[in-house]
Amino acid sequence: MKRLMMIATLLATMLLAGAPQLSAASLHSKREFRGAWIQTVNGQFSGMSTAAMQQTLRQQLDELQRDGVNAIIFQVRPECDALYESKIEPWSRFLTGVQGKAPMPYWDPLKWMINQCHRRGMELHAWINPYRAKTAGTTALARNHVASLYPNRVFSYNGQLILNPGLPENREYICRVVDDIVSRYDVDGIHIDDYFYPYPAAGQTIADDKEFMRYNGGIANKNDWRRNNVNAFVQRLGQTIKDRKPWVKFGVSPFGIYRNKKSDPINGSATSGLQNYDDLYADVLLWVNNGWVDYCVPQLYWKIGHPSADYQTLAIWWNKYAGNRPLYIGESVERTVKEPDLNNPKTNQMEAKFKLRRMLPNVQGAVLWYAKAVADNMGNYGSTLRNYYWKTPALQPLMPFIDHKRPKKPRHLEAVWTSDGLVLFWEEPKGKKWGDFAQKYVVYRFAMGEDVDIDNPAKIVAVTHDKWIKLPYDKGQVRYRYVVTALDRMSNESRKARKKVWL
């Protein structure tokens, strides 16, 4: 404990004093989760035709790819609805303007996004809001919406409808919805956000007295019972996903404060804001430490120096307490670029936040809130990623608790002249089960005489689902060594396959 406190103090001192520039090795990590949330509940696609929405998404994905993003978290279920073809829930109004109305011309946004992301070497995580059944702005529900079919299974709160977490049938229902997604779509992950029991609102009460009386199971305290309801759901959902497809990652993005020191003097953070454990009944650390989730993305949207929820304090806290599963930091692009650096008010806080994250050993990446702000290059955030922080490609962090065995290397590398120029082809390695098969390939290039160091991400020229890459032939005067490795579904990397080529 003393050693951890010393590390935290040292980090804080270095940051406040202005730490030296990060080394090239620490600046460009070969493995890092570089995610961005694409939300739909904000209405950014409302009123768009199919063609216009697809074009907008293509533009965002192209910009995000250039900026180094390697994972998209796409909101597909904002209010017990669907931005995908579903026989369980109605089409979302955030897609078509009317809940239950199919898009015309017809398309399936989730299927389309999976294809677009995989073509760019990105992962696609389907983001669902588990309990929210109606947002405050929704005025009409479809006939097949769960709240229309079973009004006794929701409660009203601050203009919203919430699937009652105290009802076992609601847990079963959400798991059935997710199982349907996982079984029919080639998603890389299922992602849930911070909406469990609703955020407290003045003058509002949660109507669950009857459910508590019926289902308390001997738990005397209602708050403990509510937490137990959410715990049971998270554990069940994680198991549902793994039973269907063991390789699909299950991630959670909780509110940024677990507990304040005032509530928990031993394990709480030096903060004074709303709390996951006490206010949302979400015991996030239990899920992480028990391995019920595969990754955790606390939403640290505040600035460094915030009086009640300081970014630096919270990043150090999560690093200390939530390291049993890959930890990524949820980052607000807008607030980061609008807040001045404490040591240099002429610049924003982007550098300080990146510097802090790279110093924390359990932090393996970040997820950006939200994708449009990056694609629009708000405050030069996107161009700074592209030219500096995320200049080189990155593979996904390893998850050996799911699978640690590497696939076999690609076979039969061959450079072939085609009508489109010189192309390097290879064949897929053989495999027997899901963990053996190659899903993507990493292509490296080295000058002759140069050390073949595949730990150097600057040598990566492509991460691709294809089994070929067009080579930049130029008069055939210079010889290069190309190295191709295979990645399985968990990003375990094979041994090297090599080919010398004159370019």
At residue 424, does pLDDT exceed 80? yes
Residue 22 — very low, low, confident or very high, per pLDDT cuts 50/70/90?
very low
The overall average pLDDT reported for the chain is 94
Question: pLDDT > 70: what percent of the chain?
Answer: 95
Q: Where are the alpha helices (DSSP H) in 97-221?
A: 109-119, 146-149, 168-184, 209-215
Per-residue model confidence (pLDDT) at position 394: 97
Q: Got the DSSP string for 128-144?
A: E-SSEEE-TT-----TT
Question: pLDDT > 90: what percent of the chain?
Answer: 92
Per-residue model confidence (pLDDT) at position 407: 97
Per-residue model confidence (pLDDT) at position 1: 41
Q: What is the pLDDT of residues 436-445, one digit of tens each?
A: 999 999 999 9
Q: Which one is predicted more confidently, 16 or 360?
A: 360
Q: What is the pLDDT of residues 53-73, one digit of tens each?
A: 999 999 999 999 999 999 999
Average pLDDT of the residues in 300-316: 98
Average pLDDT of the residues in 217-240: 98
Q: How far apart are CA 369 and CA 299, in angstroms?
A: 9
Per-residue model confidence (pLDDT) at position 30: 96
Per-residue model confidence (pLDDT) at position 46: 84
Q: Which one is predicted more confidently, 7 or 273?
A: 273
Residue 28 — very low, low, confident or very high, per pLDDT cuts 50/70/90?
confident
Average pLDDT of the residues in 24-31: 69
At residue 378, does pLDDT exceed 80? yes
At residue 389, does pLDDT exceed 50? yes
Average pLDDT of the residues in 418-430: 95
Residue 336 — very low, low, confident or very high, per pLDDT cuts 50/70/90?
very high
Residues 6+ apart with CB under 8 A from 209: none
Per-residue model confidence (pLDDT) at position 52: 95
Q: Cα dist. 221→29, 65, 162, 167, 216 in Å?
A: 46, 49, 21, 17, 9
**3-class DSSP assignment, residue 471:** coil
Q: Order of strands, edge to edge, in the sheet holding 421-427?
A: 411-418, 421-427, 468-470
Residue 11 — very low, low, confident or very high, per pLDDT cuts 50/70/90?
low
Q: Cα dist. 151→99, 134, 145, 170, 174 in Å?
A: 17, 12, 10, 12, 16
pTM of the complete model: 0.94
Per-residue model confidence (pLDDT) at position 369: 96
User: Which helix (H) or strand (E) is 235 found in, with range?
Assistant: helix 222-244
Asked if residue 21 lies in contact with residue 57, where contact means CB atoms within 8 angstroms, the answer is: no
Per-residue model confidence (pLDDT) at position 71: 98
Domains in the chain (CATH in brackets) are 33-389 (3.20.20.80), 411-502 (2.60.40.10)
Give ∠ CA 43-45-49 in degrees, rounded to 5.
Answer: 140
At residue 6, does pLDDT exceed 90? no
Query: What does the radius of gyration of the chain's CA atoms come to, in whole angstroms?
Result: 24
Q: What is the pLDDT of residues 115-134, one digit of tens each?
A: 999 999 999 999 999 999 99
At residue 37, does pLDDT exceed 80? yes
Q: Supply φ then ψ for residue 499, to 5 degrees.
A: -155, 130
Asked if residue 219 lies in contact with residue 225, where contact means CB atoms within 8 angstroms, the answer is: yes
At residue 208, does pLDDT exceed 70? yes
Average pLDDT of the residues in 480-502: 96
At residue 292, does pLDDT exceed 70? yes
Q: Using the structure block, give the residue that is written with the tokens 């962090």.
A: 397
CA–chain centroid gap for 320, Å, is 20
Q: What is the pLDDT of residues 241-273, one digit of tens each?
A: 999 999 999 999 999 999 999 999 999 999 999
At residue 168, does pLDDT exceed 70? yes
